[in-house]
Amino acid sequence: MITLQNLTMRREERLILDHVNLQINEGEQWVILGRNGSGKTTILEMINGYLFPSSGRVEVMGHVYGQVDVREVRKKIGYISQSLMEKLNLSDPVWEVAATGEYGFLRFYQEIPGEVKEKALHILEQLNILHLAEKPLGVLSQGERKKAMLARVIMSDPSLLILDEPCSGLDLYEREKLLADLEQLSKKPLQMVYVTHHIEEIMPFFTHTAVVHEGKILASGHKEDVLKDELFKQVFDVDVKLVWDAGRPWLHVQA
């Protein structure tokens, strides 16, 4: 479903990605982990076709970038990121923010068809935020904004969902609610690539993990094979012990 081959990215003489290879197959749910500045977002932007590598090959859902109109591929990709959040209009009502997902627009300049509004309201109801439908996006809490973005993504019925640190800024309650929503979504035929710094966000439904370090993929594969104490010591330079509890990994920092 996604093949990244030998991706290299240079910026001002700096090597930001260094021969990145990653194979993501249908039915797998991936988490990409790594420290600040390791190159995670750069990889996501390449999968979305917003950035092109200096060299290498990107194939997404059977389309090789450079040979297709990436805007067409993007219609099948849902993207949740802080940079997209910043592009949305804070004065737009939440239902309208969700409805824009139907077309991939950032905002509407014409009347929205009744059935599109109905569909948006239905999705808000599923996510338990129907009561926020008429509120402007700007008055929502961080957690509620994330849910509005999720509604916008669900509206577009994507085959691939890319999430860049969706839980950042959320308290424990909001984080767990968002993760539970994602778990529900994972039951659809919907593939996810989820970027985070926090391994406890690796819910049981995630099957695979890649660890990015200084622009390289340090390890990738089944999460149980990749998530090892030694790897965390190497990446985070902190002595940790990894413990699995209820199907989720947790890190204990050693004294």
User: What phi, psi does 174 have (nearest 5°)?
Assistant: -65, -40
Residue in 2, 4, 7, 16 binding ligand ATP, rule: CB under 6 A: 16
Told to check if 7 binds ligand ATP by CB under 6 A, we report no
Nearer of residues 37 and 113 to ligand ATP, judged by Cβ: 37
Nearer of residues 11 and 188 to ligand ATP, judged by Cβ: 11
CB of 201 to ligand ATP, least distance (A): 13
Residue in 11, 188, 222, 252 binding ligand ATP, rule: CB under 6 A: 11
Lay out the site mask for ligand ATP across 19-38 (x = CB under 6 A, - = otherwise). Answer: ---------------x-xxx
Nearer of residues 65 and 95 to ligand ATP, judged by Cβ: 65
Q: Which of residues 91-110 bind ligand ATP (CB under 6 A)?
A: none
Any idea what DSSP says for residue 35?
-
- For the chain, strand residue ranges (E) read 2-11, 14-24, 30-34, 55-60, 63-64, 77-80, 160-164, 191-196, 208-213, 216-222, 240-245, 248-253
- The percent helix, strand, coil of the chain (3-state, each to 5) is 35, 30, 35
Which residue, 51, 36, 20, is CA-closest to 220?
20
Task: Look at strands 63-64 and 55-60 and give their pairing.
Answer: antiparallel
Q: How many CB atoms lie within 10 A of CB 87?
A: 9
Nearer of residues 25 and 83 to ligand ATP, judged by Cβ: 83
CB of 55 to ligand ATP, least distance (A): 16
| 73, 60 Cβ separation under 8 angstroms | yes
Distance separating alpha carbons of residues 167 and 150, to the nearest angstrom: 12
How many residues belong to the site for ligand ATP (CB under 6 A)? 11
Residue 250: which residues within 8 A CB-CB, separation 6 or more?
Answer: 199, 200, 242, 243, 244
Q: Which of residues 38-77 bind ligand ATP (CB under 6 A)?
A: 38-42
Nearer of residues 158 and 215 to ligand ATP, judged by Cβ: 215
Amino acid sitting at position 157? D
CB of 40 to ligand ATP, least distance (A): 4
CB of 56 to ligand ATP, least distance (A): 15
| 48, 54 Cβ separation under 8 angstroms | no
Nearer of residues 10 and 228 to ligand ATP, judged by Cβ: 10
Give me the residues that bind ligand ATP (CB under 6 A), please: 11-12, 16, 34, 36-42
